[in-house]
């Protein structure tokens, strides 16, 4: 409990009367009047507080998208008094980026009083949302009384998804775009079962007549890829990368790439590794494959161990008989760079490897920044060495036949998805 203005005025009056009583005996006991009124009023407010009932309802997403700002609404109701003034401290779990704030709320009997808080999750996993702290004003305006609240809201932070524009009327693909179709002179790879939206020009009518069902010709330009996304969950993935850590960034990129691959009917799988391979989902097609990948990514956490991509490559080589596009999301400045080069050597020439890594925009901007103190030239030299080391590692990977790039945290997903689309278009796989 803390005192409000009315109580402080009574305290001030009691103090003044007590001082006057020291000067004049006729005022000696008058201070007891405001003091007694204060005590009686506080006792009354305490009794009223016990009879009041405040209910809290939370309206928020059950599955929060990692790194995406979303809102949660706290709805307060009370049926005890005509009106009730309160102050509420809104907070969230430690792994959510938000600005805690204290909001004043005026609750009218029988009406809902909502408060909205914006938050951005920074790490995967389940969370229990902490109950907001509330203090209620007494009816006489003498004190603020703490009021305990309970909350039953346990959201789960999951990987983000690709957002698509609304589907235009008659567009069966919902903005995803039709797969590219080859011309009439394209090479025929094999015959396969007819798929919905296959153009009639690729239907093999003789084979369809023989088998009693529609059969399509699969052309060279229509061959689908098999993709395996390898996500580094070692200790370096716990470093910050914008609003999330690097593992969170890798998870979001992997989830979006899997979603896009499924839209293009490519088979996609996932491998999470640290000091050893942790979990692997073999490449498969369709929505169910993406759902399995997302469930796997939801359980990812940073491991306190040095990553070993060479062991991950050995696992891929041992279990994948067909040629893969291996998308490796890792750090190019980690101490395991030699193991990364070894991993590329293990995967070639059978598999095509693509490495996507994040660069620190604050460090890369230092060489061009104006020096403000005597240490800035040394910081610029360290930043230059950082940039040169990244570029040298990219060149070493490309010399081994792999594709590699680095990008800012907010641009990595766009860079990886763009490279994947180029590989398909150029038939690099």
Query: Residue 117 in 3-state DSSP?
Result: strand
Report pLDDT for 187: 55
Q: What is the dihedral of CA 343, 344, 346, 352, to 10 degrees?
A: 130
Do the beta carbons of residue 314 and residue 347 sit within 8 Å? Answer: no
Q: How would you write the pLDDT of the chain (429 residues) with one tens digit per residue?
A: 888 888 899 999 999 988 888 888 778 888 899 899 999 998 988 888 877 788 899 999 999 999 999 999 999 998 777 788 899 999 999 999 988 889 999 988 888 999 999 999 999 999 999 999 999 888 888 988 888 888 899 999 999 987 754 444 434 333 334 344 444 445 566 788 887 667 777 888 988 998 899 988 866 545 678 999 999 999 999 988 888 999 999 999 999 999 999 988 899 999 999 999 999 999 998 899 999 999 999 999 999 999 999 999 999 999 888 889 999 999 988 756 788 999 999 998 899 999 999 998 888 787 777 777 888 777 888 888 888 888 999 999 999 999 999 999 999 999 999 999 988 877 666
Measure the CA–CA gap between 333 and 386, rounded to whole angstroms.
8
Strand 215-219, strand 226-232: pairing: unpaired
* Residue 151 CB partners (closer than 8 Å, separation 6+): 56, 58, 129, 130, 131, 132
Query: Residue 325 in 3-state DSSP?
Result: strand
Please choose, from the candidates 170, 210, 214, the residue with its C-alpha nearest in 3D space to the C-alpha of residue 195: 214
Measure the CA–CA gap between 420 and 263, rounded to whole angstroms.
13
| DSSP-derived secondary structure letter, 270 | E
Report pLDDT for 259: 93
Report pLDDT for 115: 93
């Amino acid at each position: 409990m803390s005192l409000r203005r009315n109580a402080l005025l009574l305290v001030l009056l009691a103090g003044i009367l007590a001082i006057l009583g020291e000067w004049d005996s006729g005022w000696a006991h008058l201070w007891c009047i405001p003091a007694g009124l204060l005590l009686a009023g506080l006792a009354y407010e305490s009794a009223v507080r016990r009879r009041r009932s405040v209910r809290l309802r939370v309206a928020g997403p059950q599955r929060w998208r990692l790194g995406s700002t979303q809102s949660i609404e706290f709805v307060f109701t009370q049926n005890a008094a005509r009106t009730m003034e309160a102050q509420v401290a809104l907070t969230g779990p430690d792994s959510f980026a938000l600005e805690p704030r204290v909001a004043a709320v005026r609750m009218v009997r029988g009406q809902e009083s909502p408060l909205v808080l914006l938050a951005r999750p920074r790490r995967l996993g389940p969370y229990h949302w902490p109950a907001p702290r509330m203090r209620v004003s007494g009816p006489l305006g003498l004190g603020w009384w703490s009021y305990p609240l309970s909350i039953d809201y346990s959201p789960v932070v999951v990987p983000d998804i690709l957002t698509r524009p609304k589907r235009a009327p008659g567009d069966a693909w919902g903005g995803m775009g039709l797969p590219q179709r080859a011309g009439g002179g394209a090479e025929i790879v094999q015959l396969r079962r007819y798929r919905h939206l296959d153009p009639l020009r690729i239907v093999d009518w003789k084979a369809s007549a023989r088998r009693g069902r529609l059969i399509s010709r699969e052309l060279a330009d229509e061959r689908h890829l098999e993709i395996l996304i390898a996500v580094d969950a070692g200790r370096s993935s716990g470093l910050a990368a914008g609003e999330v850590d690097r593992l969170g960034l890798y998870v979001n990129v992997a989830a979006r790439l899997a979603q896009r691959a499924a839209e293009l009917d490519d088979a996609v799988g996932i491998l999470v590794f640290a000091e050893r391979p942790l979990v692997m989902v073999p490449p498969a097609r369709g929505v169910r494959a993406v759902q399995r990948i997302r469930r796997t990514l939801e359980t990812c956490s940073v491991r306190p161990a040095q990553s070993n991509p060479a062991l991950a490559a050995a696992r891929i080589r041992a279990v994948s008989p067909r040629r893969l596009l291996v998308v490796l999301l890792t750090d190019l400045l980690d101490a395991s760079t030699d193991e990364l080069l070894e991993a590329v050597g293990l995967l070639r020439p059978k598999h095509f490897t693509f490495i996507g890594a994040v660069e620190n925009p604050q460090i890369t901007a230092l060489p061009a920044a104006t020096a403000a103190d005597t240490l800035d030239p040394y910081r610029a030299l360290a930043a230059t060495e950082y940039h040169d080391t990244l570029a040298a590692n990219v060149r070493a990977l490309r010399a081994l036949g792999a594709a590699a790039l680095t990008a800012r945290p907010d641009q990595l997903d766009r860079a990886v998805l763009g490279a994947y689309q180029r590989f398909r278009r150029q038939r690099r796989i």
